[in-house]
Each structure stands twice: as C-alpha cells, then as structure tokens.
Amino acid sequence: MATDSAPHANRKITLTDIAAACDVSRATVSLVLRGSPLVNKHTRARVEEELRRQGYVYNRAAANLRRRTSSSIALVVNDLANPFFAEFATGVDEALGGAGYVTLLGSTDESIAREQQVLASLLEHDPAGVILSPAEGSTADQVLKTVGMRTPLLLFNRELAGKATPAAPWDRLMLDNQRGARLATEHLIALGQKRIAFFGGHAGSSSCQQRHAGYVEAMQAAGLPIEPHWRIECAPNRVDAAAQCGALFFDTPAPTAAVCYNDAVALGLMLGLYPRGIKPGRDFAVTGFDDIAEAALSAPPLTTLTSAPRARGRQAAELLLQRVRNPQAEPQRTVSSVKLVVRGSSCPPPAI
Amino acid sequence: MATDSAPHANRKITLTDIAAACDVSRATVSLVLRGSPLVNKHTRARVEEELRRQGYVYNRAAANLRRRTSSSIALVVNDLANPFFAEFATGVDEALGGAGYVTLLGSTDESIAREQQVLASLLEHDPAGVILSPAEGSTADQVLKTVGMRTPLLLFNRELAGKATPAAPWDRLMLDNQRGARLATEHLIALGQKRIAFFGGHAGSSSCQQRHAGYVEAMQAAGLPIEPHWRIECAPNRVDAAAQCGALFFDTPAPTAAVCYNDAVALGLMLGLYPRGIKPGRDFAVTGFDDIAEAALSAPPLTTLTSAPRARGRQAAELLLQRVRNPQAEPQRTVSSVKLVVRGSSCPPPAI
DNA sequence: TCCTCAACTTGGAACGATTCAAATTTGTGA
DNA sequence: TCACAAATTTGAATCGTTCCAAGTTGAGGA
C-alpha cells in the first residue's frame, strides 16, 4: 500500500500505472480504453474505476505514433484578425471537434515567409491534413515544397499564384467571386449608376481578378464604358483604402459609384469619402464583399455579398476530412455561392 | 541502387531512412538534426544533404514522447467569432510561434459542456500549458477536474465561478474592468450626465460585477443617485441587447445615458434606440467596452475602452511560457490597464 | 480422464526519435 | 612503433500505446 495513490506530483499517469494497480497487463488496459468487447465485464469495471481514480489522461501522441494515424488538422489563414476568417475558423473548429480532430492554428498576416514557417512548423506535428487560405502572392511551388504530396491540402478562398503545378492536385473551396461582383455591379446599374469604378485589392490576387471579371462582365452586358482610371489598386485593408480614395477623382469623368474588392476596403473608402464632403449612400454608392459584422453597422450600412463564413468553415473541414478518408478520389473544386445583401451604402447617382 | 530514391509514395521518411542512405547510425542523424557539435563537419554535410534530398520532415510527436516534453499550447476561448478574441488569438499565436510552440485551438461558444469536452480533447494532446478564457458560469471545480494540477493554466478575461479552489493556483491575466467602467462613467458625468444606467451583461459574471462596481464607484463619488431599475441585464451580444433596450424606459425617471457591459451590447442598444426615435450620441449617451473594430465605425462611433487585445494575447502567451519554464513560481495575477477612447456616442444630456 | 473450444489475458515487438555509456577512429608526442 | 587522449560514432534502452501471436483459464463433451 505504500506506493499507492500518493499524488506523486511529478509524473504523468500512464497505462502502465493503471495496469500495475489493477494487476493486469498493459494490453488489457489498452483494450479497455479502446472499448474492445474482448475484455471481461468485471475486469473492465475494475480498470475503469482505476482510470478514474488516478485521473488518467490518454496520450494521443503516443497512440498516433504507434498506429500511424493523426488526429489533428492544421488551419492556416492569412489574417485571423479579420472577422471573416475568425468566423471561418470557428466553423472549421466546430466541425473538426465533432469529428474527433483537433485544430492546429496558424496565422500568417499575409506574409509569405511566415506562411512557409508556419506550415513547416505545423507539419512537424503530423496533421492529417491542412486547410490553407494562402497569403497574397503565395505560389504553388513553395507550398508544394513545404507541404509535400503526402499531406492532403485544401485551398480556401484564394488560388495560389504561379503556374498550376500539375503534380499538386489539391482540393479547393472557393467563393463565387465573379458572380458576386457581377451581382453587385448589376445592382448598381439597376439603380441607375453608369460611372462605376472597381476599387481595391491587388490585381495579382486571384480573387481580385475574378471579382474584377464579374464587374467587367456586368458593365459590358449593360453596354457601359469602363475607364482605365476607374480601377484603383490598394492593399485589402481599411487604412490603405482610405488613403487611396482620392485616386478616384484625379481624372474626369469621375465615377459616382464603386464596387469594392471587399468590406474592409469599402469601409475604408467610405471613411475617405467623408472628409471630401462626399456622403456615401447619398452622393456616392459603395458595395463591399464578405459581409463582415461591421458591414451592417457602418454609416451607412454597407451593401455587400455574404458567404456565410462559418458555414464555409464547416464545409472546408468536411471536404478535407473526406479527402483524408479517401486519398485516392479525384481532387475537387467547390465553388460556394454568395448572396447580395442590399443596405444603405448603394444609391442612385446624384440628380445631375 | 534499386531501393534508392524511388518516391515510395506511401511511407513517411524517417531518421532510419536517412541513416541508411548515408550509411551512418540513427544516433548520428539525430545529432545532426539537433545541431550537436559532436558530429564531424563532413558527416554533417552529407546527412544534411540527404535530409533535403529525401524531403525529411521532423516528427515532433515522437521526439516529444521520448524527451518528455511538449511543444504545443492549448488556447480555449469562449467566442472566437468575437473580434476581440480573434485579435487576442492572433496575438497568442504570434508569440507562441516565435517561441517554437504551436497553438491548439478550441472555441466553446459560451457552452460549459463544450468547454469541458474541448479541454479534455486538447489535453490528450499533452499541451505544455493552457490559456483559457472561460465560458460564462464555468466553475473552478470543473476546470480543475479536467485540467488537473499538472498542466499550467492561465485564465484570461474572466474569473471562474464558484469558491476559489485553494488547490488550483492558476495565473490570471485580467483587464482592469472596474477602473475602465469608472473612467467611462466619470466621462459621462463630466459631460453633465446625471441619470446614468448600467446596461447589459449577467450579474453572475465576474467581469460584469467588476464593471458594475466601477460604475457605482464613480456615481457615488459624484454624489449621484443610482436607481435599481437602471440596471438591466442581458446576454452579452447585440441581439439580446437590442431586445432589452425598452427596459430602460419602463420606469421614471428614465436614464439619459448608459454605461454598457461591452461593445456588442452597446451596439445592440444603439440599434434598439433608433426605432424609438432616440438618437444615440445626441439624445442619449452610450459607452462600450473592448474597442472592437466595429466600434470606430458604428453610427455614431462608439465611446469605449480599449485594451489592445492583440498585445494582451502576446502577453498571455508570455506569462504562460514563463510559468511553463518555472512551474514552482508563485502564481501571479496580472491586471492590464484599459484606456478610454472618446467618440461620438457619448454626449451631454438633452437640454431639458 | 482427456480433449476441444470459447473466452480472456498477456509478452513483447513495434512506432520515430533521443540519450548515454561504450566502442571506434584519429591524432599526437615520445 | 606505441600509449594515450581527443574526436566521432554507435548499440541499445526508452518514451506511452497498440496489436499480433501465443498463452492461460474453465466448462462441457466424449
């Protein structure tokens, strides 16, 4: 009894401890843990009691090592502080948790170098798969080099730059950027807008290209002109958008509306308009993309496209888990539709 | 040469593979990996070349098992979708990544049951420590039971309910709730407000109690009355706050200002005021707490208290890592100060 | 009594890395 | 050429769990 339950403050309780206490073999305890029907009822009860008594905590790392399995998924996003991705991450974690997986988190802050580091570091923990929303400018070659072909990868939200490496058949979950931007543009056109700019984002990014394409499509379908100085690039955040606002009005004819790359840019643009005496939603129409929480609360509230990011997170997790369970299946590209939410920031053009 | 570098598509490269290819022992390869000065320059170069050539990925789980170490930290927050916590998580991940740790993520959505599950599941991955922002109503006993005493825990943002278990000497990182609410209340008083309500939150939560105490302190110091019907409880989210708005005006004298539990509540309250024909920032003064991104963008922009959540995240990570490195040290309670940010939502009382 | 069978149990070799004591090689001075 | 020390390398045990093949029971049938 001397070596009994004294809380030996500094060693973890393992299978061996339980086995010794119950006077059975480690194998038997393991079988109990895994719920095997092989063990005798009575034995099982004794062991379970002892597990509880000693406060045993399963060591999944050891089990994974032996079984050559993994119970984690790496989630790497370009900007966790963006409410859109925070919602997305919540959805991912929800779905993964339900499936018995744990989320390894990494945020890259749009830095390609950090993305490489983060991926490499997370891979050392041997995740069953990776969900990646790439940093801007991240290339297929780089990602392939650090992730390799063994670990399933799901791309979310953005395509990778560079020629599509044929050897890297990744799954994708994308938003219907083109259709979204087309819807927004059509909405402005229906309000009577004719001089519509496309504002924000970097022309290099795939999502920006797609959104721009949707804008062009709608403009051309309506027979409206597109002035080259109506396309303004800026970093996809509020600060840079506000700073670039003036560029819209350098040349004439100045636009009276703007389809923005995303909500952050749209909100920034609106902030930039006020000091020029232009009131968005009255003198100038603005649309966004993402429907982040701020969108409904800004002044005026922002017309934008919603994609239910939390549901996208769950979907991403499920797509990846499918792939983990069936690595051989054909890679799939899923495009999730978006919905226009009309709010106060879109308006007809000024009377004259 | 037959067994050479053929990409045996389905087995991971291990130390043994590298050792075999270089014709050295596993021990030597291990020494190379860990940068030991013992290995010969020439050998090291050969091994490193081979590591690269075969695309070797370190298996941290195996190493951790053998070395009885851990390289992950669990981060469990009550609501990742809340921008305040998203920023916090970003800060945590930033600091942990820098220290060579990986973040295991869990979001509980304010559910105590989920909190238990999530903690239990993450603990099986043997994190070196846990950062927990508890769900509302989570008790010290519960947490102690699932986390145990071996794994260091840092509490963020909220105290646990229930008598302080003396056996669980956890570190804490709290915001200066009381002082923050006092600052907000004093600010309103300085504007001439006299009938000030305290709106939102659950009286059971520690942060709500502290904020309320700060409000009381300022009111009493100014010799102002506090009507019992000026304290309205509601869930700490926008929807419930908007719904409870009417409760402010059931009895007379009605307040002309409200110190709100947090920004979400304040934004919800403002949404609820509009339909009553009360314009916040003109007819009624409102303050929040947290300075989430929306706060600066609402109409009117919200006067609130900022706590630099990303910096708090970094701080939390550092405090926890200190504890991991020195488990014996006295547990500390860190209170992080907050700063008043005055914006348009706070105003003097209506003229009459 | 002996044998078979079902129902449990268990020893011991993995999983991939680390570590220490011990073995091997190399270099030096006499 | 040899003894001895320094510089490298390595065999084998180990971390906590799994799982196969083989072992131990006890009951029932011949």
Q: Mind giving me the DSSP string for A221-284?
A: HTT----GGGEE-B-SSHHHHHHHGGGGGSSSSPPSEEEESSHHHHHHHHHHHGGGT--BTTTB
pLDDT score at B6: 39
Nucleotides of C under 7 A from a protein CB: 7-12, 14-20
Buried b or exposed e, range A237-275, using 16+ CB within 10 angstroms: bbeebbebbebbeeeeeebbbbbbbbbbbbbbbbbbbee
Decide which of B89 and B264 is more confident. Answer: B89
B69 touches A: beta carbon within 8 Å? no
Helix (H, G, I), strand (E, B) or coil at B186: helix
Stretch A310-332: mean pLDDT, rounded?
A: 96
List residues bridging with A89 in a β-sheet. Answer: none
Of A26-35, A293-302, B65-74, B126-135, the poorest mean pLDDT is in A293-302
Number of H helices and E strands in chain B, helices first, is 12, 12
- When CB atoms are compared, the residue of B89, B117, B123 closest to A80 is B89
Kindly report the pTM of this predicted structure.
Answer: 0.91
Residue nearest to nucleotide D15 (CA to C1'): B66
Which of residues 133 through 152 in chain A touch B, CB cutoff 8 A? 148-150
Stretch B209-223: mean pLDDT, rounded?
A: 97
Percent of chain A with pLDDT over 70: 95
Query: Tokens representing A24?
Result: 């059975």
B292 has a pLDDT exceeding 90: no
B203 has a pLDDT exceeding 50: yes
Q: Is the CB of A66 under 7 A from strand D?
A: yes
Stretch A93-103: mean pLDDT, rounded?
A: 98
pLDDT in tens, A111-137: 999 999 999 999 999 999 999 999 989
Q: Is the CB of B38 under 7 A from strand D?
A: yes
Q: Is the CB of B61 under 7 A from strand D?
A: no
Interface contact flag, A310 B58, Cβ < 8 Å: no
Q: Is the CB of A8 under 7 A from strand D?
A: no
A30 has a pLDDT exceeding 80: yes
- When CB atoms are compared, the residue of B64, B81, B122 closest to A86 is B81
Q: Round to a whole number and report the distance in Å from the CA of B40 to the C1' of D12.
A: 23
Q: Is the CB of A27 under 7 A from strand C?
A: yes
Stretch A217-241: mean pLDDT, rounded?
A: 93
Binning pLDDT at 50, 70 and 90, where does residue B7 land?
very low
Percent of chain B with pLDDT over 90: 83
pLDDT score at A15: 96
Of A169-183, A312-326, B264-278, the poorest mean pLDDT is in B264-278
- When CB atoms are compared, the residue of A65, A82, A87 closest to B61 is A65
Residue boundaries of the structural domains of chain B: 15-58, 70-175+309-336, 177-307
Q: Round to a whole number and report the distance in Å from the CA of A207 to the C1' of C18.
A: 46
Binning pLDDT at 50, 70 and 90, where does residue A5 land?
very low
Q: Is the peptide bond before A253 cis (omega within 30 degrees of 0)?
A: yes
A317 burial via Cβ count (<10 Å: 0-12, 13-18, 19+): buried
pLDDT score at A53: 96
The yes or no reply on domain B70-175+309-336 and CATH 3.30.420.40 is: no
Binning pLDDT at 50, 70 and 90, where does residue A271 land?
confident
Query: Tokens representing A252?
Result: 């004439």
Q: Is the CB of B149 under 7 A from strand C?
A: no
Q: At A284, phi and psi to the nearest 5? A: -155, 130
A8 has a pLDDT exceeding 50: no
Q: Is the CB of B46 under 7 A from strand D?
A: no
pLDDT in tens, A186-228: 999 999 999 999 999 999 888 999 999 999 999 999 999 999 9
Helix (H, G, I), strand (E, B) or coil at A130: strand
pLDDT score at A1: 32
Q: How many CA atoms lie within 13 A of A73 on its CB side?
A: 34
- Look at the domain B15-58 and name its fold: 434 Repressor (Amino-terminal Domain) (1.10.260)
Q: Round to a whole number and report the distance in Å from the CA of B16 to the C1' of D7.
A: 24
Q: Round to a whole number and report the distance in Å from the CA of A14 to the C1' of D26.
A: 32
Average pLDDT, chain B: 93
Stretch B157-168: mean pLDDT, rounded?
A: 78
CATH of domain A177-307: 3.40.50.2300
pLDDT score at B296: 83
pLDDT in tens, B109-161: 999 999 999 999 999 999 999 999 999 889 999 999 999 999 999 999 999 98
Concatenating the DSSP letter of every residue in A281-292 gives TTTBEEE-SB--
Query: Tokens representing B211?
Result: 């904020």
pLDDT score at B65: 97
Interface contact flag, B90 A103, Cβ < 8 Å: no
Binning pLDDT at 50, 70 and 90, where does residue B1 land?
very low
- With contact defined as beta carbons under 8 Å apart, do A289 and A318 qualify? no
- Look at the domain A71-176+309-337 and name its fold: Rossmann fold (3.40.50)
Of A9-18, A160-169, B18-27, B198-207, the poorest mean pLDDT is in A160-169
- When CB atoms are compared, the residue of A57, A86, A297 closest to B294 is A297
Interface contact flag, A65 B60, Cβ < 8 Å: no
**A54: chain B residues, CB-CB within 8 Å:** none
pLDDT score at A7: 42
Average pLDDT, chain A: 93
Which of residues 185 through 214 in chain A touch B, CB cutoff 8 A? none
Q: Which nucleotide is nearest to A66 (CA to C1')?
A: C15
Q: Is the CB of A121 under 7 A from strand C?
A: no
Same fold, A71-176+309-337 and A177-307: yes
Stretch B331-337: mean pLDDT, rounded?
A: 96
Q: Under 8 Å CB-to-CB from B141, ≥6 apart: which residues?
A: B162, B165
Q: What gap in Å lies between CA B129 and CA B316, rounded to an integer?
A: 11
B3 has a pLDDT exceeding 80: no
Interface contact flag, B121 A106, Cβ < 8 Å: no
- With contact defined as beta carbons under 8 Å apart, do A263 and A288 qualify? yes
- When CB atoms are compared, the residue of B9, B65, B124 closest to A57 is B124
Which of residues 252 through 311 in chain A touch B, CB cutoff 8 A? 267, 271, 293-294, 297-300, 310
Q: Is the CB of B150 under 7 A from strand D?
A: no
